Amino acid sequence: MIDILIDRIIDKRNPTVVGLDTRIEYLPSELINKHKRRTLDFKSASDAIFDFNRQIIDKVYEYVPAVKVQVAYYEMYGISGLQAFYDTCKYAKEKGLLVIGDVKRNDIGSTAEAYANAYLGRTNLIEQEKGAFNLDFITINPYLGIDGVKPFIKACEEYNKGIFILVKTSNPSSSDFQDLYLEDKKTKVYEKVANKVSKWGDITIGNKGYSSVGAVVGATHPNEAKRLRVDMPHTYFLVPGYGAQGGGAEDVCKSFDNRGLGAIVNASRSIICAYRQDKWKQKYSSSQFAKAALAEVLDMKESINAVLEQSGKIYWR
Amino acid sequence: MIDILIDRIIDKRNPTVVGLDTRIEYLPSELINKHKRRTLDFKSASDAIFDFNRQIIDKVYEYVPAVKVQVAYYEMYGISGLQAFYDTCKYAKEKGLLVIGDVKRNDIGSTAEAYANAYLGRTNLIEQEKGAFNLDFITINPYLGIDGVKPFIKACEEYNKGIFILVKTSNPSSSDFQDLYLEDKKTKVYEKVANKVSKWGDITIGNKGYSSVGAVVGATHPNEAKRLRVDMPHTYFLVPGYGAQGGGAEDVCKSFDNRGLGAIVNASRSIICAYRQDKWKQKYSSSQFAKAALAEVLDMKESINAVLEQSGKIYWR
């Protein structure tokens, strides 16, 4: 699967991902009003959210390789919200986009297998097997160790899918546990995780030199990313934290290799709420939210590519 | 919320929880046939699973304080499966049971807040707020540190709910990261997590001396549990791994305090698949699966209470 992602990145000349972390508060009021009946309930809110996502996908699908859909924002609206999650992922795939489910699932082996089946593989229905969500990639949390991760790696191999395992997250308190020094007083917890993730990925290295077992490395930690890029030469990075969380193009550049590969950068709020940004709100009305999102997507692409070019990381330009 | 759980435990004289990790393979074939049309699809499988859960709840609700519902086994059946998850939790609550959602959610602050709203709190729908799943407790994963945990603690306070944070999990490879020694060469990663969880819980200690911020401590690690019981005097333990995973009554006893409180023990497969156990299958036919589950529940209760009594931990007997 990682080869397919890399091909799309090269084809679109764009190593960025649109994060559909959509919540009702982000929608223009006219779109909410279009869907609500007397009051807004979970069903009408979810319909409005899917409509919003669909319009953004329609604008950006030719310019980005993938979308990342954060399931928390859909679970928040109950079963209707999860239907909007399902519909969004399905629609994005129909438009030719790869779909990264940002689900951060984790559990003991037998339960991890259920999650792997749910999102990447197929579920046993006695006389047949069927895929429940059928995404291309998901994110997972490594705290339970290899027997909680193995079912996901197995699904990557069996169904040609990919995962990104949390290594160094973008939030300030990622330091609480991830930055603790181990007994050699040199290695931090996240570096040990990185080392394991790199090894776990060795069996699924594709023909571009990268594994379908990737890592999440926050844009807000450029120094750590720079070292991890060297220590994990076969691990693709999903880089969240660009834009609203404070990471810039210079920061995310550290996660790329010398060919301009090795990382895919996600931005969510800065893209889907672009129409509210000072930068765009003169040019686009709120009903043109999808156009504003595309403008921000292209801007982000240009910013990152410019820095990659300055750094001599220009393979696919 | 922890006070309510403790009251229920004392009232039922039973510190155990039924784990509804239901998958279609666990159901008697006559129950599957009752629901399937031509073939089994996600909808009919989910209907059968909810029917199975409902019958078990009907038998056990007078004897246990709570059920633990593992969401992975429902996500596996797509939107229909999640509807069965919702219906199961709702039905259990209607029967007076507390519901622990075993969801192991985790993310950066803003996203953790969305999860906290989804499962414990309420979701903003502009003109009103509504709870999507409205569970009593959920499990969460601490890898992202305090700003990924804080929204859940806030929800505990605001909505009178509880959480159990993963500290030492029941699976064999929990040692991969949780057992790494830190730079003082004495403290392991999970002990550092334990220390933080204990501190994070200080603000929500109820009138029984326990916090609504609890910990997950696997039954398969009795020595670790014994030490954690001392080091975390205000932290209630959710103890998975009893039964099918190998933990016994002697093992789980270490997680209890001298009053017979401080822990709630979960068993899933050994209860819901009791009708297939050599121990019960002579006595109960497959259509009596719920009766067999109750027999196993009472057996588990007796085993644990007997060991607690032997150890002088008899407060509520």
Per-residue pLDDT tens digits for B74-133 = 999 999 999 999 999 999 999 999 999 999 999 999 999 999 999 999 999 999 999 999
CB neighbours of residue A184 within 10 Å = 10
Write out the H or E segment, with its range, that includes residue B101. Answer: strand B98-105
Q: How far apart are CA A305 and CA A253, in angstroms?
A: 9
Q: How far apart are CA B139 and CA B20, in angstroms?
A: 15
* Mode of pairing for the β-strands spanning A263-267 and B235-239: unpaired
Residue of B90, B104, B196, B226 marked active site:
B104
Asked if A104 is an active-site residue, the reply is yes
Write out the H or E segment, with its range, that includes residue B179. Answer: none
* Sequence-ordered alpha helix ranges (H) in B246-310: 249-253, 269-272, 278-281, 289-310
* Mode of pairing for the β-strands spanning B235-239 and B211-217: parallel
Summary mean pLDDT of chain B = 96
User: Cβ–Cβ of B144/A173 closer than 8 Å?
Assistant: yes
Helices B289-310 and B42-60: angle between axes, nearest 10 degrees: 50
3-state secondary structure of B205: strand
Ranges of chain A with pLDDT below 70:
315-317
Give pLDDT tens digits for B254-311.
999 999 999 999 999 999 999 999 999 999 999 999 999 999 999 999 999 999 999 9
3-state secondary structure of B185: coil
pLDDT of residue B159: 98
Residue B283 burial class via C-beta count within 10 angstroms: exposed 0-12, middle 13-18, buried 19 and up: exposed
- The span from the first CA to the last CA of chain A, in angstroms, equals 22
The distance of B111 to chain A (nearest Cα, Å) reads 6
* Mode of pairing for the β-strands spanning B123-124 and B129-130: antiparallel
Chain B, nearest residue to A27 by Cα: B126
Residues A225/A280, Cβ–Cβ less than 8 Å: no
- pLDDT of B26 > 60? The answer is yes
3-state secondary structure of B287: helix
Q: Is the C-alpha dihedral spanning B240, B246, B248, B250 positive or negative? A: negative
- pLDDT of B142 > 80? The answer is yes
Residues in chain B: 317
* Mode of pairing for the β-strands spanning B66-70 and B16-19: parallel
Chain B, nearest residue to A184 by Cα: B183
- pLDDT of B317 > 60? The answer is no
Predicted ipTM beyond 0.85: yes
C-alpha distances in angstroms, B104 versus A61, B12, B138, B297? 32, 27, 7, 25
Residues of B in contact with A127 (CB under 8 A): 39-40
Residues of B in contact with A119 (CB under 8 A): 75
Of A196 and B243, which is predicted with more confidence?
A: A196
- Residue B270 DSSP label: H
Q: Give me the mean pLDDT over the B240-264 stretch.
A: 90
Which tokens belong to B206?
């109820």
Q: Which of B70, B117, B172 lies nearest to residue A111, judging by beta carbons?
A: B70
Q: Give me the mean pLDDT over the B144-165 stretch.
A: 98
Which tokens belong to A64?
């980005």
Q: Which of B14, B146, B75, B288 is nearest to A74 (CA)?
A: B75
- pLDDT of B315 > 70? The answer is no
Q: Which of B128, B130, B177 lies nearest to residue A142, judging by beta carbons?
A: B177
The distance of A182 to chain B (nearest Cα, Å) reads 4
Summary mean pLDDT of chain A = 96
Q: How far apart are CA A49 and CA A70, in angstroms?
A: 13
Confidence tier at B27 by pLDDT (50, 70, 90): very high
CB neighbours of residue B312 within 10 Å = 9
* Mode of pairing for the β-strands spanning A129-130 and A66-70: unpaired
User: Cβ–Cβ of A145/B178 closer than 8 Å?
Assistant: yes
Burial code (b: 16+ CB inside 10 Å, e: under 16) for A109-131 equals bbbbbbbbbbbbbbbbbeeeebe
Give pLDDT tens digits for B163-185.
999 999 999 999 999 999 999 99
Residues of B in contact with A181 (CB under 8 A): 182-183
Radius of gyration of chain A (CA): 19
3-state SS, chain A, equals CHHHHHHHHHHHCCCEEEECCCCHHHCCHHHHHHHCCCCCCHHHHHHHHHHHHHHHHHHHCCCCCEEEEECHHHHCCHHHHHHHHHHHHHHHHHCCCEEEEEEEECCCHHHHHHHHHHHCCCEECCCCEECCCCCCEEEECCCCCHHHHHHHHHHHHHHCCEEEEEEECCCHHHHHHHCCEECCCCCEHHHHHHHHHHHHHHHHECCCCCEEEEEEECCCCHHHHHHHHHHCCCEEEEECCECCCCECHHHHHCCCCCCCCCEEEEECHHHHCHHHCHHHHCCCCHHHHHHHHHHHHHHHHHHHHHHHHHCCCCCCC
Chain A, nearest residue to B116 by Cα: A76
Q: Which of B111, B212, B211, B149 is nearest to A177 (CA)?
A: B149
Radius of gyration of chain B (CA): 19
3-state secondary structure of B194: helix
Residues of A in contact with B76 (CB under 8 A): 114-115, 117-118, 123, 132
CB neighbours of residue A174 within 10 Å = 24
Residues of B in contact with A40 (CB under 8 A): 125-128
Residue of A93, A95, A104, A188 marked active site:
A104
Which tokens belong to A201?
């990925």
Residues B305/B12, Cβ–Cβ less than 8 Å: no
Disruptive mutation site among A82, A143, A173, A239 for chain B (greatest number of B CBs within 10 Å): A143
Which tokens belong to A160?
């040609």
Chain A, nearest residue to B112 by Cα: A72
Q: How far apart are CA B104 and CA B169, in angstroms?
A: 11
pLDDT of residue B316: 58
3-state secondary structure of B265: strand
The CATH code of the domain at B2-310 is 3.20.20.70
